[in-house]
Structure 1
Amino acid sequence: MKLSHKLCGAALVAAAGVALAAPNTTKAVDTKTGTGHIGFTVNTDPTDTSGVVPTDPGVTDGTTITNIPSVVNPGSFGIIAITPLEFETHDVLTANTQRDYNASFFHANQGTTDSNYPAFDVQNFVKYQDLRTMETHAYKLSATLTQNFKDTASGVELKGANITYKEANLTQTGDAALTPNASDVTTQGTISTASPTFDFIKNQGADGKGYGQFELNFGDKTSGDKAVTLNIPASSAIGAGDYNAVITWTLSETL
């Protein structure tokens, strides 16, 4: 019995020791939050084109193109540059048998004397950018024939003339994951006085697609395929003259 009492007493002392030690294992907890910051800016000066100057489309270190007219900095959203369409000059008698004329490739840096900007041919293209701060970059890129081909001296028009853009494709030098879906780009379209506007891109913009700088190209210089064609109907008489048209490209936030 004495031994039993001693064992019981020892057990009680041990249990008491555990109970007394338990509070000492609980530590105080304290938290404090810090901050993180990063900022980005967009150059909105329309005269400063250093960040938007056109280069060989889709080439990361592509050659700068210095002779595209009217290059502008659109800020966070807009059109940067458009290559002018040149259908060349032809003998008026060719119109008896020829009614389709292909636009030449754009002659980048034509007549250059600067080795840093060598001359080369490039497919016709429209360069634009969308750098808006938003999750869904929805937009529409459209071409409109705002003035039909008209002779400068007489004002006579090439009635029924129309321009067909073919093999439309997008290039960029950013992350390919942000390129608009192929289903959002129409590869061929025609503009005329009867149907002046055509939508080439209707970007849905989900998951950031469409963010960045892009070129909408017509054809590819490597294939040699001139993918913009002017058609003048056989019913339109063609006299000697210089005929000029105006094509207005629009980048719109609404689909």
Structure 2
Amino acid sequence: MKLTKLVMSSAALAAIVGVGALNADAATYPEATKGVSNGNITFTDDGSNNIPDPENPDKPTNPVDPTDPENPDKPGGNNNPGDLKLVVVPDIDFGSKQKTSAAVTANAKVVAAWDENKTKVYRAPWITTHDMRTERGTGWTVSVTSSQFSLVGDTTKKIEGAEIVFTNANYEGTSTTKPTINSKAAGTDVANGLVLTPGTEVSIANSDSAKGQGVGDYSLALGTNSKGTNTKDSLTDGVTFRMPANTAVETGKYQAVLNWELKPTLSPLS
């Protein structure tokens, strides 16, 4: 029996097998001895956060969600997609103080986190940044603006002269591309620390793209755990509340709102 060889166009073949038009990335052969093809890979936002432990930056951590404190698998931080992202910012708790006519200072409590083994640990409050942009411009800057401390339930009642001060801020690890910290925030003296004057934007850290800083994930610790142990009653030496003497306050809880921002620009740290 005579065999008849059939030659079909790619479009006809596609119609028969139902695969649609052939991929435009298919190899081409401009000459008998030459071929041209493509290697492809697609990246998408993975929808999760890589949060370096502020004390062990080579290991991951996850902030404890105060609404679900016993769930180490619950994603923490800012889960919005983005190549430039402020992943973690801290709630700051200064605890409770008795009313007094004397000046008041208070250090912030440490915050709970899950380590890589899903064990609860306690860290100084921290800020995590994520930068995977291909076009980085000059770099980025982390800033914060604080409101006045107002009485919860009656925001017309405020603490005059009360402020938050940052000191001892640090990036752990030996990386030479760590972001730069505001010198006042990195200093050890509260009297000369970085003051969050209510209503004034303050830059805490920045990364200079010309120096290759800040690419990837970095956690800026606001101080250190004062006891050096994983105990929930520890304090940080990096965040201090201070209030002048002879300041009248109501009995009750006061709260300041902290508005953090990660800007895609290099701003002065002053």
TM-score (norm 2): 0.66
User: What is the CA-CA distance between 1:249 and the residue it aligns to?
Assistant: 1.0
Partner of 2:45: 43
Where does residue 102 of structure 1 map in the other structure? 107
Q: What's 2:245 paired with?
A: 234
The corresponding residue for 1:176 is: 175
Q: Which residue of 2 aligns with 1:27?
A: none
Of 72, 75, 83, the residue aligned with 2:78 is 72
| Structure 1 residues 160 and 56: alpha-carbon distance in aligned structure 2, compared to 1, 3 A threshold | same
The answer to whether the 8 Å contact 2:101/2:247 transfers is no
Query: Could you tell me how far apart the structure 1 residues matched to 2:35 and 2:225 are?
Result: 56
Match of 1:90 in 2: 97
Offset at 1:120? 1.8
Instruction: Name the counterpart of 2:207.
Output: 203
Query: Which residue of 247, 250, 254 corresponds with 2:261?
Result: 250
Alignment partners' CA distance in 1, 2:185 and 2:97 = 31
Task: Report the Cα distance in structure 2 between the residues aligned to 1:208 and 1:235, rounded to whole angstroms.
Answer: 49
Query: 8 Å contact 1:130–1:137 — kept in the other structure?
Result: no
CA distance in 2, matches of 1:223, 1:245: 26
CA RMSD in angstroms, aligned pairs only: 3.3
CA shift, 1:124, in A, is: 0.9
Q: Is the 8 A contact 1:136 1:208 kept in 2?
A: no
The answer to whether the 8 Å contact 1:72/1:80 transfers is yes
How big is the shift at 1:64? 3.3
| CA-CA distance at 1:137 after TM superposition | 5.2
- Partners of 1:204 and 1:228 in 2: CA distance: 25
| 1:164 equivalent in structure 2 | 165
**Distance in 2 separating the partners of 1:191 and 1:208:** 29
Equivalent in the alignment of 1:220: 224
Highest CA radius of gyration, 1 or 2?
A: 1
Shift of 1:116: 4.8
Amino acid across the alignment from 2:203: D
Identity of aligned residues (%): 22
Q: Cα 1:97–1:177, aligned 2, differ >3 Å: closer, same or farther?
A: same
* Code of the aligned partner of 1:168: A
Find out whether 1:56 has 2:67 as its counterpart.
no
After superposition, the C-alpha distances for 1:32-72 in whole angstroms (9 at most, x for unaligned) are 7977756462417xxx3x333x4532332344333268721
Counting matched residue pairs gives: 210
CA distance in 1 between counterparts of 2:165 and 2:183 reads 19
Query: Tell me, which stretches of 5 or more residues in structure 1 are unaligned?
Result: 1-30, 110-114
Higher helix share: 1
Q: Is the 1:137–1:209 Cα contact (8 Å) retained in structure 2? A: no
SS in structure 2 of the partner of residue 206 of structure 1? helix
Question: Given the two structures, how large is their TM-score scaled by the length of structure 1?
Answer: 0.69
Aligned to 2:148: 148
Larger deviation, residues 66-75 vs 161-170: 66-75
